[in-house]
Amino acid sequence: MNIKVFYTAVIFSLAGTYVFAGSAQPLVLDSPESQTEMWLQLQREGNAASKKVQTATPAERELAMQRLLESYKHPIPEYYGEADGGKFKR
Asked whether residue 83 is assigned to any structural domain, the reply reads no
Number of domains in the chain: 1
Asked whether residue 29 is assigned to any structural domain, the reply reads yes
pTM above 0.85, yes or no: no
Asked whether residue 13 is assigned to any structural domain, the reply reads yes
| Owning domain of residue 19 | 3-73
| Surface-to-core class of residue 42, CB atoms within 10 Å of its CB (0-12 exposed, 13-18 middle, 19+ buried) | middle
Amino acid in the structure at residue 33: E
Q: What is the mean pLDDT of residues 12-30?
A: 56
Q: What is the pLDDT of residues 58-87, one digit of tens each?
A: 999 999 999 999 999 988 877 777 666 655
Asked whether residue 86 is assigned to any structural domain, the reply reads no
